[in-house]
Amino acid sequence: MYYMMGGVAALALSLLLGMFVIPMLRRLKFGQEIREIGPSWHASKSGTPTMGGVIFIISSAAALAVTCLCGFLLGGRSGGFAELLIVELLSLSFGVIGFIDDYIKVVKKRNLGLTAVQKFGLQFLAALVFATFVAVFGDTGTVIDLPFVETNIDLNWFYIPFIIFVMLATVNSVNLTDGLDGLATTITMVVMLFYLLISLRIKNSAMALFAAVMLGALAGFLFYNRKPAKVFMGDTGSLFLGGAVCGLAIILRQPLTLLIVGLVYVIETLSVIMQVTSYKLTGKRIFKMSPIHHHFEMCGWSEEKIVCVFSLVTLLLCAVMYFFG
């Protein structure tokens, strides 16, 4: 039950770190700038400390290290420590990209952060390294499982570009979802719980530990990130979470399940694509505001209601995927 120990350790560390990190971010004046194109009532959130993702990044990494040093015996289809390490490094690499983006926004006072080309280029490089490692050295090879049917498919040469696409789509979708207090945190906790249960079912101890640690770290962070948020995760946290989610799914050979359990992520991204496309082609908007969580805000939904409904939808989809997928 080492995964339980790791999860509890991550929870405790996350709660403890928040007590020190949040005041430090305030002293450094690392406050969130609220863009004018967002909902007007979000102006009250201006100045809330951001880059708070470092709380669950540090606590999860420390909990993983402590748990492994306490004698965790890796095994199962994952190949053990090597793939646990590569998933953690993948998540950290995306977290670093997010940190650079946040640093430019908050410290350098350039509100848009990294340019689209810079951000995409760095993300592509991280995804390429990970996809290549898994394809060449990973136990999964180039095979992925198909949902709802007890079979799999070998993608061969198409595996690396497919995985890169999945990773870039997932990471940026999680980033878009982080727009309300506790939204990305809560939804990702549900998704992590799903992959924890899947890991236990197929006896993949390494990924069970990773998912449990992430779940614990996020639970601690939610204590500070729930409405009214005392801290935002920033791109530092949302890109890290995107890397963690897709890394887990890929190592478990289940990247396609992200379309189902991560449907909220998908819809958030599609709402932006649809809004931009419609406006450019017709001059009209489909939604009152995008991403779609802002549309529901404009319709009169409270942040708490949106977080609750989106999380329950994710929980239902995870249950369907677990029992029937």
- 133/296 Cα distance (integer angstroms): 41
| Residue 214, CA distances (Å) to 9, 224, 259 in order | 11, 16, 20
- 5/63 Cα distance (integer angstroms): 9
- pLDDT score at 75: 47
pLDDT along the chain (325 residues), means of 10: 87 97 92 62 76 97 88 49 90 97 83 85 97 90 92 94 97 96 97 97 92 98 96 96 97 96 97 95 92 94 96 98 90
- pLDDT score at 46: 76
b/e 116-150 (16+ beta carbons within 10 angstroms → b):
eeebeebbeebbeebbeebbeebbbebebbeeeee
Closest CA to 53 of 201, 218, 266, 300: 218
Beta strand pairing status for 151-154 and 143-146?
A: antiparallel
* Residue 243 DSSP symbol: H
- pLDDT score at 29: 84
Closest CA to 240 of 161, 129, 126: 126
Task: Compute CA 92 distance to the chain's CA centroid, rounded to the nearest angstrom.
Answer: 12
User: Per-domain residue ranges for the chain?
Assistant: 2-257
Give the H/E segment covering residue 143: strand 143-146
Output phi, psi for 49, to 5 deg: -55, 135
- Whether the bond between 39 and the residue before it is cis, its omega within 30 degrees of 0, is no
- pLDDT score at 69: 77
- pLDDT score at 78: 40
Which residues does 219 contact at the CB level (< 8 Å), separation at least 6?
11, 14, 189
- pLDDT score at 74: 47
What the block records as the tokens of 166 is 């999945």
- pLDDT score at 145: 95
- Cα atoms in the 13 Å half-sphere on the side-chain side of 69: 6
What the block records as the tokens of 115 is 């340019």
b/e 223-259 (16+ beta carbons within 10 angstroms → b):
ebbbeebbbbbbbbbbbbbbbbbbbbbbbbbbbbbbb
